[in-house]
Structure 1
């Protein structure tokens, strides 16, 4: 009598976590979005609209990287905008005073911001809650005061003007209708987003989330709070610093306004409105808030109040932000399609 052979059971090599979009689907969606954005300058004719999109890309890089430390890491790092400002002044001083090549200074802005993030991590390694907020906020104020006090080098409250811009061989990037700067900003956003998504899907990213959700249990399983927190803040700093450097190259000036609460409030609103711990949510919210704000330019003092009302309504209806709204809408469409099939 022969033994019955059990049927083979297919085994998935890499299981997909519940609620996580498979790599292939995410890559397809990412490629489609990139193609649409790359074609926008061919559709949008005026220079000002391209300028708005460039600013959207800059804000999106800063906001999505803040989402890494704030949303995924659960670290209330209110010194994140100081890293952006460090990138601004690092690029400006290196190109204007030292004479460093602008492209090298662009990269150096990210490196210097990363070093600054590591330094600010040291005093908050063992802190929690409000104490992290106070230390990181104090760090941002310290950087701003250093910039103001060293006016002979940094220009103080007057800032720096005529900062050297980027170049592309003999191409005149100032008089090309902002085409070149548009694609450089888009490339920066693409590189930053790919890095962030790879990071959060990696073992390092899983460790960061584990510490956020249950710190005591994660530590008991052998995870290092010090190591993970330092990696998280350093990873969120590099492209933030590069975004600051690009901002200085694009605007061709550096001002202490980049350390102000106004910009910090805007970027934080993008993180929260888009939906924390999503990366894409902060990017989507950057488009929505920036374009919405420009569309209401004629409303004067009413503009920030209307924007704040929009954020409140969205957060009340969809606590998970714009990403939650999109998911709910897509789920409703999928249900209807199943019913009609």
Structure 2
């Protein structure tokens, strides 16, 4: 028995860590080779945005899917990362890489702060408090226009750098691999977390709160840990978004982006992490493919989501599992 086996308990029906690790490495190796197929800047831009969305959506799945906490302030953590990076790098003159990781810490502290009033709340009250938190952050940013630019936002935000490499004329190659590295680190952290004892405890609280508490699981502590864990990479994703786009806007607090990210979580299948990542690819690519449909594009996308959720309530992950089971049965069936 290895140390990993002790730290990560097994469970019936769970894919073994070795198999998941193989799939994890293989999947991200394929993604790393995509620039060889997509050499134009636009395609790489779409992939970079997919990676950013995937980080935010998969971290939301941790609190919403695994933790069962209806944290509708999750996108505020992304926005905090956007503005924290912009203010640190542009206004304070902090090194962009230090500002990037500092933004993740600031978002985590904000998540701990918003957790305090919802430690003992349930259902609709958590939604109201977290939604109010998101609106409060947006109003603070608007009111402090001397620093934040208010409704106009901030422009010419310093970008990241990699030694002397020219990141402007490389066809977005450097930003592609930085975004991919961020997604790899975030996914690895999330999967290790949900397969740990802490992950098992938050699922226990979600499924049967009274029983979990009777077995010694602290509701307040685990709820705070869950939201804090889902905030760090969300804040870094926001910081990377600001560095990549070279601007900060209050649009990141809008319902449009929140709806897109939430759709990715639900369409992919909650309590999977990987589902949100897969849905980020599917929805973004599908939306880009429907660009010529104009105002019909969001309606067609919504229809796609509805059809998939009706046929497979467990989302895209459920569809993939069903297809895999069907193929496996066909292979095993004697001729």
TM tier, smaller: over 0.9
Q: What number of residue pairs does the alignment pair up?
A: 330
Matched residues in 1 for 2:188 and 2:265: separation?
18
Structure 1 match to 2:313: 319
User: Which of the residues 244, 249, 254 maps onto 1:250?
Assistant: 244
Q: Does 1:69 align with 2:51?
A: no
Structure 1 match to 2:332: 338
Do the aligned partners of 2:109 and 2:228 also contact (CA within 8 Å) in 1?
yes
Structure 2 match to 1:328: 322
Q: Aligned-residue CA RMSD in angstroms?
A: 1.1
SS of the residue corresponding to residue 263 of structure 1 reads helix
| TM-score, normalised with respect to structure 1 | 0.95
Structure 1 match to 2:109: 115
Q: 1:339: how far off?
A: 0.5
Do the aligned partners of 2:312 and 2:318 also contact (CA within 8 Å) in 1?
yes
Q: 1:174: how far off?
A: 1.1
| TM-score, normalised with respect to structure 2 | 0.97
Cα gap change, 1:15 to 1:210, in 2 (>3 Å): closer
Structure 1 match to 2:292: 298
Moved over 6 A (4+): 12-15
Q: Does 1:25 align with 2:19?
A: yes
Matched residues in 2 for 1:131 and 1:310: separation?
31
Structure 2 match to 1:49: 43
Structure 2 match to 1:9: none
SS of the residue corresponding to residue 75 of structure 1 reads coil
Matched residues in 2 for 1:80 and 1:338: separation?
45
Do the aligned partners of 2:141 and 2:150 also contact (CA within 8 Å) in 1?
yes
Gaps of 5+ in 1: 1-11
Q: 1:15: how far off?
A: 7.1
Matched residues in 2 for 1:254 and 1:88: separation?
6
Structure 1 match to 2:202: 208
- Bigger Cα Rg: 1
Q: 1:340: how far off?
A: 3.4
Q: 1:16: how far off?
A: 3.8
User: Which of the residues 81, 93, 100 maps onto 1:99?
Assistant: 93
Q: Does 1:156 align with 2:147?
A: no
Structure 1 match to 2:30: 36
Q: 1:129: how far off?
A: 0.1
